[in-house]
Chains A and B, each alone.
Chain A
Amino acid sequence: KQEVTQIPAALSVPEGENLVLNCSFTDSAIYNLQWFRQDPGKGLTSLLLIQSSQREQTSGRLNASLDKSSGRSTLYIAASQPGDSATYLCAAPNSGNTPLVFGKGTRLSVIA
């Protein structure tokens, strides 16, 4: 059974700083991994999806990497802005199945 862990649970950084969010998963037999953003009281916004054959994906200031052998993924945010403040969720499929297993998220605050 897949388990997803995210560290740290919360992070506060000054504006402009580069930062890394960590995600680990127990079952490496995944076909992809997704990173989401959730604003308070809102739904989830898909940020990046990395297929199992890929090592990383980039979108603007975001870069996500995937290392299946070690069961880790990282989300790198460059030049952070106050608008990046949100909870970031990592999700991986359960073994061989489609439904996603979510970590508890990293709550990010970017201070102006």
Chain B
Amino acid sequence: NAGVMQNPRHLVRRRGQEARLRCSPMKGHSHVYWYRQLPEEGLKFMVYLQKENIIDESGMPKERFSAEFPKEGPSILRIQQVVRGDSAAYFCASSRGQTDTQYFGPGTRLTVL
């Protein structure tokens, strides 16, 4: 059973470009969470999705950021018009049920030049 997969592992963008981060949950998991880890800071929750629905996006910036988890395919975290402050490691986690263990992917390290 493959773990949570994220791609790309490293992403470099120039200011103003778009970044698309993908996350494939573990098999049998329908709950997906995105977290961000800024340099020298702890992990912060961004958004929680369950197939085709956004359950909680209280941690997501109101502008430029969006997330989806379609019926088919991976979950996508999209950042439009990136700025240097978006440089961080973005982690995706998945779980089978709402109160089950969350398993984390290896992360996507975004660098904005």
A residues engaging B (CB < 8 A)?
31-32, 34, 36, 41-46, 49, 51, 89, 91, 94, 97-105
Contacts and interface: CB of A to CB of B under 8 A. Distances in A.
A43 B31 CA distance: 18
Interface in B9-64: 31, 33, 35, 41-45, 48, 55-56, 58-59
Interface residues of B, number: 26
Contact of A98 (B35, B99, B105): B99
A100 B45 contact: yes
Contacts of B91: 43-44
Contacts, number: 57
Question: What's the dominant secondary structure at chain A's contact region?
Answer: strand
Nearest to B97: A98
B99 A101 contact: no
A98 B48 contact: yes
B104 A46 contact: yes
Contact of A89 (B43, B44, B107): B43
A31 B106 contact: no
Contacts of B109: 41
B101 interface: yes
A59 to B, nearest CB: 12
A34 B102 contact: yes
B42 A105 contact: yes
